[in-house]
Structure 1
Amino acid sequence: MEAVIERLKEHLNHSIVGQGALIDDLLVALIAKGHVLLEGPPGIAKTTAAKALANAIQASFQRIQFTPDLLPGDVTGSDIYQQHSGQFQFTAGPIMHDIVLADEINRAPAKVQSALLEAMGERQITVGSATYPLSELFFVIATQNPIEQEGTYPLPEAQLDRFLMKIQVDYPDLETELQVLHLIREQDKHGGGATTAPVVTLDDIAALQKTALNIYMADAVEQYIVHLVMATRHPDKYFEDEGKMAAMIEYGVSPRATLALDRCARAHAVIAGRDYVTPDDVRAVVHNVFRHRIVPSFQAIAQNLSNDQLINMLLAKVPVL
């Protein structure tokens, strides 16, 4: 398994310069069998990262550019009337692939976003009266730009909760920016980036996912996960100043977050090359798992407290048993 992870990392690091944390987070989501939302300003390799991951795996890939005029059938597919037979026949949409890039997902209206709910939650789609199963790998990588809000439709809480992780992608530092400049310049000299063959198969990914499910997790780590979840719902039980923290969180995370934190911690341990999960694995992924699920109160927003800061406060108070 270590060899598979190293091949994936080497391939992705060659395509995405200076985004080591993003690469690790994408691999965690892939191994944990969840979907991921990438949020960051334009031009920082969100789409490139999704394409590079798809190219590394021997899997089918499809990009959907979300726009305000998109219809649900444009995503899921629809029943098309066949004149020669006089019957309707299902024509598969772009979602019927292994890896789907939902580019600028918040540019599509709620009706289209809702078309993804069943697919992301149950790995199937329903068109008319028929239900069609999706790929066993089925992995959605969605992107959104938090800067420009004109003409966008914020994702509803039910949609956000179906994303295993929300990853914040920021601008690179000075040295990384120079590496990107040199890499793109070299690619331009040689007629664009070189296309490489996939480095892992679907069976390799399935084996990694199975390994993560079977990895050892002690009772103390399980309890730590549950206590972190409970601290978002009942912060008064974990903070001495009972009223202050309780007033900062309007709604805590869902039970789906408990499962997500468990799966992501296991996947993180696999990537680290261990056969057991530690509290550090939990802390390494908790921000990406909780970030989009905590609903801050008006008081927290007024004090400019981000969800990441609220999570840091929780981590400081919830002990490892």
Structure 2
Amino acid sequence: MNVQLKVNQSTKSLITEVDKRINISRAELIKEYIEPAIPVVLTNATKDWKARNKFNPQFFKDNYGHITKEIKGKTYTLPEYIDLMLQSTPEKPAPYPFNFNIEQRAPELLDDLKPEIIYAKSDRIKNPLLPKFMLRGTEVYELFFGGNGGHFPFLHVDALFLHTQITQLHGSKEFILFPPEQTAFMYPREDNPKISQVNVFNPDHDKFPLFRQAKPIRVTVEEGETILFPTKWWHTTQIHEPCISLGRVHLNASNWNDFANDNYQSLKTYRPGMAVPALVYTKVLGQLINLQEKISV
């Protein structure tokens, strides 16, 4: 694969660790992390969530036995998977991930995930003028279950260039991040440039020599903590104990055009007649929201 090496030096490329912040104001969050596109861990942003004391393995075993997930060709009920998750070891890890869309499979749980973390001046992903079909390929709210020794199957950038929020509701999870400037070292797949060809846990440096230059940033997000990181940051996760995580995507001014253009490319494939109208509509909507946010400040 012909990789063009264009690594721009910026604030992001100089970061060596992810800050952990407590009691940060929304204005500080926007100025210090969201606008410069820097990851951060918020240690108590979800302190008032009912989910904090509720979402544990026994709760899901008792109440959500009807939810199933196929992983590597085998279907598991959630209680079956939780037993595997609790017994998981690095030598014999539970398959990962067991995940599901909360809005579709357990919408009654959404009230336990409030107050929302707003990753910008407004929560654009919830804007009533944003058509739901434009979120095809992602989940706004998603629960992940995993056990000791599990890891996400590939290094990637999230779908539709959406920003990411992960809250640890039970147990901890280690995140491995690479800033956008290191994309040339990630060997993006030709058929899906948001997924790396490199196995970050056992890299083949003969096949992917530029990955030697990649400099990961590792941070463990503890139970009750939330990591926020911007789109285009390459990431994967590794698990060292039973854990339950809440994933939430975000959309704001900084990723709006990437989101619109990615939707356009996707629509050209599965709904070609909608591609151009959707692109025009999204661009205009973005300008309207920009004006609304400016006026409301």
- Please confirm whether the aligned pair reaches a TM-score higher than 0.5, indicating the same fold: no
Greater C-alpha radius of gyration: 1
Q: Which has the higher contact order (CA 8 A, sep 6+)?
A: 2
TM-score, normalising length from structure 1? 0.23
TM-score, normalising length from structure 2? 0.24
